[in-house]
Chain A
């Protein structure tokens, strides 16, 4: 599903002493089945932006288009349900939303709300549990008995079970250990490929942007200040630093190498790209 923001503005608590700008004239397009990263430091408007993707917030002015659904200030709540179903949201620390008595019922909660029959919902729940790598024997346990990492998978399955076409991930790996992080990112990549999902990832991990994203949006002070491929975003390291953002580890290392006389056609963003660009600049093994 393609997504378009057309001059979207959002104002928090308008006409009160607490009035604050949430989004200021944001326009961009996300192609269907692409992987888009949203970066920017805390309070830059990232969360406000993603809450527009499924109508949790409605623009004060401007239009958000998701496939053929148009979200404007006038959209009534009744019409939001299909948008909620088609755009799945995994919030930060999603395990905090678990509530039901068993893992199975918690995962089936979304599908039941969206009007699937009990039988369909259970079958979708089992499929989603399988997709996120939860063993069957956990399905009848209470979600509160599981480990932190397992609880997070239950919560993600609870979003996937409603069969969204767009998956919005707000720092989905926060608080996990390195192996957990790597496994979870690999899982999202696989889900995207298997289910032809459009993925939107809010993250502070520039290495994940380099490894997974097709395009990135940079937010600052409620504005979209740059959009492009990761290579375009990180092409100017001075600009990146001025935005208080980091470079991917490999790009940072490559920067150091440049001061030592190495040359790169474009700034390498991953260890693999860096090694490839070092061919010809370093001796071969066994020579």
Chain B
């Protein structure tokens, strides 16, 4: 199931979207998520879904991959929508039982929640699929840079984030190996009740933590031996470059915003 989940995963590529500056992508994805809440009537939804469809096309990845990738999350979205449906009062009441009710307002809001949630998750998936974790970290750092004024340790945070991202695959591999080793010793990770499953996690978590602490210790030693004395007075190897395509992307999303506002009132 988790293997299918696409949110948070990066697929290397050279599409137009892959090549956008991560700062542009981060800001635009956030912007899109905000304006997703401006949707009101069916025209606005058609516009937003058409737009995200176009964006998916630009990723160069197959449409069915997105559908399958978002699949595992659909239940989360449906669940949220159902909660909205059952707890929203107002308008015509079709059915009620205790505090639960289905109303015309409820149907409207839950549909809106469902569609907006879908838009947001698709956009977040597009962002992570086309942007390397390191590029996201660089982008976040660049966007946080103004916070240095209030003495927020931006450089340290960025290095910490980049090192953490770098170790994610290493620790995932290690977790897989430990799981295999414990399964070979008779542990069943996907079987039994909640208590049994929780207990099965202990032989995974302890070695994983012990290993991670050992790695952190080694890494700290290596960093020290390579002259790391804290994040001050360092120069940077990696810099971000803003291209025309990034400006075009910004213009496109601003146009989208304007059209959306116009359609709202139709």
Contacts and interface: CB of A to CB of B under 8 A. Distances in A.
Q: Do chains A and B touch in the complex (CB under 8 A)?
A: yes
Interface of A: 13, 16-17, 51, 54, 56, 77-78, 81, 84-85, 87-89, 91-92, 94, 96-100, 109-110, 112-114, 144, 158-159, 162
A98 B207 contact: yes
Contacts of A16: 3-4, 65
B79 to A, nearest CB: 26
Contacts of A97: 178, 181-182, 185, 203, 207
Given A81-B188, A100-B203, 9 more contacts: A17-B61, A17-B65, A54-B184, A77-B190, A84-B185, A97-B182, A113-B185, A159-B184, A162-B185
B125 to A, nearest CB: 13
Contact of A99 (B186, B188, B203): B203
Leading 5 A-B pairs by shortest Cβ distance = A113-B186, A99-B206, A110-B185, A97-B181, A89-B184
28 contacts: A13-B3, A16-B4, A17-B11, A17-B61, A17-B65, A54-B184, A77-B190, A81-B188, A84-B183, A85-B186, A87-B184, A89-B181, A89-B184, A96-B177, A96-B181, A96-B207, A96-B210, A96-B211, A97-B178, A97-B181, A98-B207, A99-B202, A99-B210, A110-B185, A110-B186, A112-B186, A113-B185, A144-B210
Contact of B180 (A56, A98, A113): A56
A35 B184 CA distance: 20
A112 B4 CA distance: 34
Interface string B187-225: 110110000000000110011001100000000000000
Given A77-B191, A81-B186, A89 B180 contact: yes
Contacts of A96: 174, 177-178, 181, 207, 210-211
A17 B11 CA distance: 8
Most chain B Cβ neighbours within 10 Å, of A17, A92, A97, A114: A97
B18 to A, nearest CB: 13
B243 to A, nearest CB: 26
A185 B139 CA distance: 52
Nearest to B179: A56
Interface of B: 3-4, 11, 61, 65, 174, 177-178, 180-188, 190-191, 202-203, 206-207, 210-211
Q: Which of A77, A96, A114 has the most CB of B within 10 A?
A: A96
A113 B187 contact: yes
Contacts of A77: 188, 190-191
Nearest to A155: B181
Contacts of B191: 77-78
A107 to B, nearest CB: 10
Nearest to B176: A56
A94 B181 CA distance: 8
A99 B185 CA distance: 13
Contact of B207 (A84, A89, A99): A99
Nearest to A114: B186
A13 to B, nearest CB: 6
Given A77-B190, A97-B178, A56 B207 contact: no
A163 to B, nearest CB: 12
A87 to B, nearest CB: 8
User: Which of B178, B184, B206, B210 has the largest number of chain A CB atoms within 10 A?
Assistant: B184
Contacts of A110: 185-186
A81 B178 CA distance: 17
Nearest to B186: A113
B186 A162 contact: yes
Nearest to A93: B177
A185 B156 CA distance: 47
A218 B11 CA distance: 32
A112 B200 CA distance: 13
Given A17-B65, A96-B177, A97-B178, A56 B206 contact: no
A108 B234 CA distance: 51
B69 to A, nearest CB: 9
Contact of A109 (B65, B180, B203): B203
Contacts of A100: 203
B262 to A, nearest CB: 38
A87 B183 CA distance: 12
Nearest to B211: A96
A56 B207 CA distance: 19
Contacts of B183: 56, 84
B6 to A, nearest CB: 9
A159 B185 contact: yes
Nearest to B4: A16
